[in-house]
Structure 1
């Protein structure tokens, strides 16, 4: 019986020591967590190649490239040139969109002046929800959210 009491005290002490170590380690501040290589303002210039969700492989209007390459206004200080098509099958005209960087982890979040959102998931791709008219809608038609997916790289 004496051994049982000693064993109980030893187990209880070990439990308390482990619990105390866990609490102390959990409360320690190890400094800022390292930000993975991302696509924030400090990583400019970079480009994103995106395709509209649901588009066929031959729909060059649905393929866009955002080339972050120049400065914009105060509220949206980073601008990108949007071109449609591919290098081999370009579409005429460009569009300039200005963005503001809003978040860095776990993904980079950029918002544009028209209410669109570009989320860059590092090497896992990118998703851009752009406010625009659906394909085939006339110039006075409603604006809606069109989703593009792809990737970004330096």
Structure 2
């Protein structure tokens, strides 16, 4: 069963602790610019979290000329192999929300890898605005938020 990260903007306080946890896990520094997820100001005074959706049919994977992007069919996680990635940015252009970013210190792209199934962002969210749920439960949550 695949799991996804779901963000409830109604609960989010905009503290950006998810961003600091992400940058520390991936780069051992607290730097919003290095976070693989972003919290941005929403249109209604709320906050919106932007991160890889680990799509069912990832366009980034189809666009990668090096075959560096793989989808684990068991977990649903879409990952980038930094040893195969050539840094051409085709994945950024193919991604509907332009998520992949150049990995610091390497000529390779990076994006959320769900922390291997134990997302740091969820652990630090004191508002409980971020949840790690099955794709089906995620769709229910999103439908209830958007009503």
TM bracket (short chain)? under 0.3
Larger Rg: 1
Structure possessing the higher relative contact order (Cα contacts under 8 Å, 6 or more residues apart): 2
Which protein has the bigger strand share? 1
Structure 2 length-normalised TM: 0.27
Bigger fraction of residues in helix: 2
